[in-house]
């Protein structure tokens, strides 16, 4: 049985991916900061699928917490076959000069440094076993830069550079490295971005049908079910009504 480690399963993409991988027979290490929600996802999977789950409640921005949490994994969960770096956020949507530096820190610390901390701890085992797969949840914001999104876009551009670099450095160890780059998807993402303002968050998707978390779980399922000799580098997926970060056909 393969083991997957997914960051940020208390909501959105991470939760849908966890449930999908449980259906594919993966046993799961599931992480997030909100313990109640993390336990809920684990309980749901434990009662609906015949796979085991192991919850790790920690903040990916805290390298010591990452180290302690991952070191605490019991032997039967230690060998990670699939790492999904999903935990991430946008904080704020303002011109650079009007933005808050603490928002910049949150995005860089979570989306870039958190991803690095977790990956650094999991890669050595993959190298030792000469196999593994890392999937980084990036964004269309890693490909295009849009107004009021400079630092979020920078963080996802960094994720893409890290993805490409990891692929180069790990290919000799038999480790695949992929990314998924979604456009607009309705999760808790915009509520977090607008600091809890649900009206502003709703307006983001007005007049169009956004992606949902299941669409991203479908994409991850496609990536992990390719034959051994196939590596998917990146899948960029948008709502049908979104051409790029600037052009959305709203009706
Ligand atoms: P959600 O806000 O619904 O989920 C984000 C998840 O990340 C939560 O489980 C949250 O858990 C976790 N997380 C956030 N910060 C931390 C942290 N410091 N430590 C540990 N876990 C953390 O958003 P999405 O599901 O939409 O986002 C998932 C990923 O997809 C992100 O990387 C995002 O940038 C990316 N993305 C989202 C798009 C969208 O439009 N929704 C489009 C493209 C990419 P908790 O709060 O419990 O810690
Ligand atoms: C989130 C998608 O278009 O808001 O990564 O940047 S977008």
Whether ligand 1 lies within 6 angstroms of the CB of 185 is answered as yes
Report CA(172)–ligand 1 centroid distance (Å): 31
Q: Is the pTM of this model over 0.85?
A: yes
Tokens standing for residue 89: 């956020």
Nearest Cα to Cα of residue 159 among 234, 217, 212, 216: 234
Alpha helices in 28-114 (DSSP H): 35-48, 63-71, 75-78, 101-107
d(CA 236, CA 180): 6
Q: Which atom of ligand 1 is nearest to the CA of 186?
A: 41
d(CA 122, CA 71): 10
Q: Which atom of ligand 1 is nearest to the CA of 38?
A: 47
- Mutate which of 245, 246, 247, 248 to test ligand 2's pocket (most atoms within 8 Å of Cβ)? 245
Please state the domain extents for the chain.
3-237
Whether ligand 2 lies within 6 angstroms of the CB of 187 is answered as no
* pLDDT tens across the length of the chain (251 residues): 999 999 999 999 999 999 999 999 999 999 999 999 999 999 999 999 999 999 999 999 999 999 999 999 999 999 999 999 999 999 999 999 999 999 999 999 999 999 999 999 999 999 999 999 999 999 999 999 999 999 999 999 999 999 999 999 999 999 999 999 999 999 999 999 999 999 999 999 999 999 999 999 999 999 999 999 999 999 999 999 999 999 999 99
Tokens standing for residue 210: 């956004």
- Mutate which of 86, 137, 140 to test ligand 2's pocket (most atoms within 8 Å of Cβ)? 140
**Can you identify the CATH homologous superfamily of domain 3-237?**
NAD(P)-binding Rossmann-like Domain (3.40.50.720)
Number of H helices, E strands in the chain: 10, 7
Whether ligand 2 lies within 6 angstroms of the CB of 160 is answered as no
> Which positions ≥6 away from 209 have C-beta within 8 Å?
239, 240, 241
d(CA 146, CA 125): 38
Exposure pattern of 107-138 as b/e (b: 16+ CB <10 Å)?
Answer: bbbbbbbbbbbbbebbbeebeeeeebbbbbbb
């Amino acid at each position: 049985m393969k083991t997957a480690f997914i960051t940020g399963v208390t909501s959105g993409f991470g939760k849908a991916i966890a449930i999908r991988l449980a259906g594919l027979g993966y046993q799961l290490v599931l992480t997030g900061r909100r313990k109640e929600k993390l336990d809920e996802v684990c309980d749901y999977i434990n009662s609906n699928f015949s796979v085991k789950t192991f919850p790790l409640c920690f903040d990916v921005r805290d390298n010591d917490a990452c180290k302690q949490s991952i070191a605490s994994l019991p032997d039967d969960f230690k060998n990670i076959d699939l790492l999904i770096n999903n935990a991430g956020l946008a904080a704020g949507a303002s011109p650079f000069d009007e933005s808050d530096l603490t928002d910049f820190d949150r995005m860089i610390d979570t989306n870039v440094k958190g991803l690095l901390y977790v990956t650094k701890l999991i890669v050595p085992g993959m190298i030792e076993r000469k196999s593994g797969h890392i999937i980084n949840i990036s964004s269309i914001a890693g490909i295009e830069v849009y107004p009021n999104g400079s630092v979020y876009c920078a963080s996802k551009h960094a994720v893409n550079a890290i993805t490409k670099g990891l692929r180069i450095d790990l290919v000799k160890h038999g480790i695949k490295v992929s990314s998924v780059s979604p456009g607009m998807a309705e999760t808790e993402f915009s509520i977090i971005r607008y600091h809890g303002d649900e009206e502003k968050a709703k307006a983001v998707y007005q007049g169009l049908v956004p992606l949902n978390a299941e669409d991203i779980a479908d994409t991850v399922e496609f990536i992990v079910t390719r034959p051994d000799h196939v590596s998917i580098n990146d899948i960029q997926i948008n709502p049908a009504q979104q051409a790029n970060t600037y052009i959305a056909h709203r009706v």
